[in-house]
Structure 1
């Protein structure tokens, strides 16, 4: 049990600062020729999310699937700007990353190992031994698995929403050719807007799914919230 608790939890505030705020400000304010210039500003802006991801990898000695996709996303964004590719590729890339995650979540359910179970049914939060034993005693295990499968589909749909919104946001904001100052500024604006427009609604949907899982656990087991939650840790 000690090996799993040694990994440090990500700091949400630092993630926003290094992955969104600083890169956006650099792209929007320092891309002009009188400052860093188009290409140097893009490189410097991309160094922050790349550096944060690398430091997180060094701290935790592991890189999960989502972190890897985030790294690839940053790399692809830089490639589109540096090689001056058509901006349509940016919109495709923005949609592809969450779409891939959503597909993995969906497939995990058909494999019999729904990803949502790993994400939400955490032994540090829930008294899983009591929940599973009670479900077995009440012959409700299959009903619970069906609820988790449905929750997994809902989780996959949040990534579909994110993919669609990412594509529309990129098409709406980033209209200038790659390699220009305007492209950098628009890229920074898109990154900044992605948090309130996409991340917050996705988080609300995630909380709603979490509430559904907790309510399902309580309803099928007959246990109270205090009994379901793991108060020992």
Structure 2
């Protein structure tokens, strides 16, 4: 049973890749309008399908994955919902900001920066709020049964009568984990303003420049934002392990699932 459960466990990285990163990349690289490309004297590539079609392609990934997951488990997939929210926000903002004459609306940089910041901010709030629900998001991302031997841990906690201390450890880990998303909120906004802050919204090629800079925001985000966040997550994991060791007396290899 345990082997089957482990085999059926989802890979969080694959989830984020399919439901969030690939759709955002699709919006960044497929959204160029062939008509505007021709007016600017640029080569029209076969993947330049325009913002509306790019939005449809991007939405297809989280929708298809979410349907597949629901048919398989009869449960809603959190990452698919996050992907749909991200794609609709990004695609909808793109359609709003782009003008037909090739220019973009004023304050496009600020609006895009706020969009970039909104997703990790909402996620951070949701992580903290979910601590008191039946399905804490900490268990979806970090404290999952694919990483930790949760039945053994909770059995030991119950045996020692340390439920209050156990919940405190999980709350502290939840807050630390949410903080990584709040850090990402600030860094996302800063990165967007760095690349888009000097955008000339009235230029004839503003849409072209906007699209190119959005692609840079996405690409550099993996490094500028991803590395610090991974370091933050590692720190959170170590604090979680330290807390669990303190209340259960179990060693790290006993707390973690065997690899």
TM-score in same-fold range (> 0.5) = yes
1:106 touches 1:152 (CA, 8 Å); kept in 2? yes
- Mean Cα deviation higher: 185-194 or 129-138: 129-138
2:118 touches 2:185 (CA, 8 Å); kept in 1? yes
Q: Does 1:74 align with 2:87?
A: yes
Q: Distance in 1 between matches of 2:17 and 2:135?
A: 31
Q: Distance in 2 between matches of 1:114 and 1:13?
A: 18
1:46 touches 1:78 (CA, 8 Å); kept in 2? yes
Matched with 2:63 is 54
Call closer, same or farther: CA 1:41–1:135 in 2, change over 3 Å.
same
Q: Does 1:18 align with 2:22?
A: yes
Q: Does 1:9 align with 2:31?
A: no
Per-residue CA deviations over 1:43-99 (Å, capped at 9, x if unaligned) read 465455433223322331255334323322222222222232441221111111111
Secondary structure at 1:180 match in 2: helix
Call closer, same or farther: CA 1:5–1:130 in 2, change over 3 Å.
same
1:131 touches 1:221 (CA, 8 Å); kept in 2? yes
> Structure 1 unaligned runs (5+)?
none
1:124 touches 1:230 (CA, 8 Å); kept in 2? yes
Q: Does 1:131 align with 2:153?
A: yes
Q: Distance in 1 between matches of 2:133 and 2:181?
A: 19
**What aligned pairs does 1:92-171 form with structure 2 within 5 A after superposition?**
92-109=114-131, 114-171=136-193
Per-residue CA deviations over 1:157-203 (Å, capped at 9, x if unaligned) read 11111111111111121234396211111111111111111123212
Matched with 2:100 is none
Matched with 1:191 is 218
Q: Distance in 2 between matches of 1:13 and 1:97?
A: 13
Q: Distance in 1 between matches of 2:195 and 2:227?
A: 19
**What is the count of residue pairs matched by the alignment?**
230
- CA-CA distance at 1:6 after TM superposition: 4.0
Secondary structure at 2:161 match in 1: coil
Q: Distance in 2 between matches of 1:144 and 1:6?
A: 27
Matched with 2:253 is 226
Matched with 1:207 is 234
2:138 touches 2:177 (CA, 8 Å); kept in 1? yes
1:114 touches 1:149 (CA, 8 Å); kept in 2? no
Q: Distance in 1 between matches of 2:92 and 2:150?
A: 45
- CA-CA distance at 1:21 after TM superposition: 5.5
Q: Distance in 2 between matches of 1:118 and 1:83?
A: 34
